Structure 1
Amino acid sequence: MGQSFCRKAAGSLTPLLPTPGVNTGVGADAPGAVHTRAYQRCHRRRAGGVTLIELMVAVAVLAVLAAAAIPNFKSFLHNSRLSADATRLFADLELARSEAARRNTTVTICPLDSGNKCADDWTLPRIVFVDADNDGTYSNTEELIRNSDPLQATTVITAANLGATPDRVRMRSTGSSSTPTASWKFCERNSTAAGQTVSMTGSGRPSTQLQSTCS
């Protein structure tokens, strides 16, 4: 707006300017001098930057926007972490089921401890392998199908309904599972926000759904 005003002011005073080459020695009250001072004042006002009040208003607006965005960003990160971990377990179960059918044999999925033995702590890194002797231990002579990625450091899993073998799930060549009602509840440590659950149907097919809260 200031720039437009300056242009209009300069335009209205332009006819008052003396002809080129006559500016030297123009008096302080001469029309040309008046035009020059007005033009310089406009340019100084435009180049003056923002005032302290304008800066404080801008900072206040940014603070309000940040306060509104931070909770949404935390919720987005929470959901993304749990979704990624739940999706990986879902993919491992699907892979074990399809490989069992393809190979016409039983395929095992389990969390593995440091001694290559299946453990009932499902926060440990998982493997999918052909447990030929069904001893719940992976050996170099057995075929490894997948090493799954570890969980997020903040993710906690509560497994349920795994029956007599809480340390593993075995997928048969028919597609059924040794633990058809098993479920895994994914929550974020020290949080009561909603989590996700991976569960198995009677046929051994996994599914994923949201859960209301975590305790």
Structure 2
Amino acid sequence: MKFSSRDRGITLVEMLVVLVIVAIVAMQVTPSFTRLLSTSDRHSEISDLITLINVARNTAIYEQTTVTLCPVDADSRCSRDWKLPLVAFRDPQRTKTVAMPSQIIWQRQINRIGTIRGATGIHTYFQFNSSGLAYGAIGNITWCPDNGDATLAAQIRINMGGRPTLAKDRDGDDIVEDSGGRPVACS
């Protein structure tokens, strides 16, 4: 069988047309893909935080003790600095201090993606008593992405029953509202 010179490959024009089509598709897909990754990061971080809260609460109930959840500083004390590792630990004397490693139930290392901040009123911690109720400290934990996009922010509220709930977007502006009905801010 004999091949002519036209049957041996593609022309430069055909290759350029294919490259232009690929470039156009890539430009359309990149923003969607970036948003998908950001949304995935958000879900992962929020899931980790809710798991930490639930483990702390369930341990308090199961072991019939007080469990404290807070960021812990170098002196093993609860801190207001939410950039520190979050630790859930057995705290039967309510000292808000990790005296021994055996007290630690779960530790969440420093945030890898985004930032978190806790609002615990005058306290630096969340505590759960033996019935699972929030012991004198209710509030919320807000997660914001690194880029500060408030449409990706999330807020977990801890009620008096000790249960975590996610804040919702009630006004349709794609930003969840805090307990006062104001949009959550990522500053």
When normalised by structure 1's length, the TM-score is 0.72
- After superposition, the Cα gap between the structure-2 partners of 1:90 and 1:141, relative to the gap in structure 1 and judged at 3 Å, is closer
Structure 1 runs of 4+ with >4 Å offset: none
- 8 Å CA contact 1:128–1:146 kept in 2: the answer is yes
SS of the aligned residue for 2:116 comes to strand
Shift of 1:138: 0.8
SS of the aligned residue for 2:147 comes to coil
Equivalent position of 2:22 in the other structure: 62
- 8 Å CA contact 2:68–2:125 kept in 1: the answer is yes
Q: Aligned Cα RMSD in Å? A: 2.1
Equivalent position of 1:77 in the other structure: 37
Match of 1:192 among 149, 155, 170: 149
Match of 1:118 among 54, 78, 88: 78
Equivalent position of 1:168 in the other structure: 125
Q: Which has the higher helix share?
A: 1
**How many Å separate the matches in 2 of 1:135 and 1:207?**
27
Equivalent position of 1:183 in the other structure: 140
Moved more, 125-134 or 104-113: 125-134
**How many Å separate the matches in 2 of 1:124 and 1:80?**
23
**How many Å separate the matches in 2 of 1:180 and 1:169?**
5
1:159 and 2:99 matched: no
Shift of 1:89: 1.2
**How many Å separate the matches in 2 of 1:58 and 1:191?**
37
Equivalent position of 1:92 in the other structure: 52
CA deviations on 1:186-205 (whole Å, 9 max, x unpaired) are: 11123324111111233111
CA deviations on 1:147-192 (whole Å, 9 max, x unpaired) are: 224322x4112322x1221x21110111110356411111112332
Q: Which runs of 5+ in 1 are unaligned?
A: 1-38
Q: Which runs of 5+ in 2 are unaligned?
A: 176-184
**How many Å separate the matches in 2 of 1:88 and 1:188?**
15
Higher Rg of the two aligned structures: 1
Moved more, 79-88 or 58-67: 79-88
How many pairs are equivalent? Answer: 172
Match of 2:66 among 106, 115, 134: 106
Give percent identity, aligned residues only: 25
- 8 Å CA contact 1:163–1:179 kept in 2: the answer is no
Amino acid at match of 1:105: T
